[in-house]
Amino acid sequence: MGGEESNGEGQYLPGAASLLAEIDKRILIILRDGRHLVGTLRSFDHFMNLILENTCERVIMKGKYADVELGLYIVRGDTIVLLGHVDDEKDKASSMVKVDAADIDEDEIGEGTLEWDFEELS
């Protein structure tokens, strides 16, 4: 129908069901309070409440970032602003330097800007 593939790939699933393709993959979530969470999506429900495994909070500072380990994490769906797949190769090739969570300087958190290269996405 309408050019959809018969094997189910490429079909659009509305709402939270569209997350089926992200199960067992690393995702990044930005929450309403500004926190960034990175973890492996294990489960979700129709309210888009998520269960993440091996979760860490990514704290971004001037030209560097730190991942604070959180473990198993439940995220309430109404707090999610943005959700996306994490490409491990691009994550490692990033110009930002990863530092240890103990080296976080509270005065630097949230300072600086992230440069987005939308031309490179294609």
50, part of any domain: yes
49, part of any domain: yes
Q: Using alpha carbons, select from 19, 75, 10 the residue that is nearest to residue 49.
A: 75
8 pLDDT more than 70: no
What value does the CA radius of gyration of the chain take, rounded to a whole number of Å?
Answer: 16
117, part of any domain: no
Confidence of residue 4 (pLDDT cuts 50, 70, 90): very low
Tokens read off for 85: 């797949």
7, part of any domain: no
pLDDT, the chain, mean: 80
Contacts of 92 (CB under 8 A, 6+ apart): none
Does the pTM exceed 0.85? no
94, part of any domain: yes
Q: How many domains does the chain have?
A: 1
70, part of any domain: yes
The CATH number of residue 47's host domain is 2.30.30.100
CA 81 to chain centre: 11
Domain hosting 39: range is 15-98
106, part of any domain: no
